[in-house]
Amino acid sequence: MSDPADMYRCQTGNCGYVYDPARGDKRGKIPPGVRFEDLPEDWRCPVCGAGKKAFKSLAES
């Protein structure tokens, strides 16, 4: 598991998906090790489909 400063939680409704760079996003074909900042701009939450702007750093929570 990554440091919370590197993890981002989806802020839409009740989704709560957390992007962890140590795990990547298998559904979105993002390999482990890709930082949130380096995700493609068109990347979407694999649970609810929200864009990157709907995510907030866990360090800010």
Model confidence over 42-61: pLDDT tens digits?
999 999 999 999 999 998 76
Cβ 12 vs Cβ 54: under 8 Å: yes
Q: Quick one: residue 52, left, alpha or beta (phi over 0 = left, psi -120 to 50 = alpha)?
A: alpha
Side by side, which strands form the sheet with 18-19? 18-19, 8-10, 55-57
Tens-place pLDDT, residues 12-52: 888 999 999 999 999 999 999 999 999 999 999 999 999 99
pTM of the model: 0.89
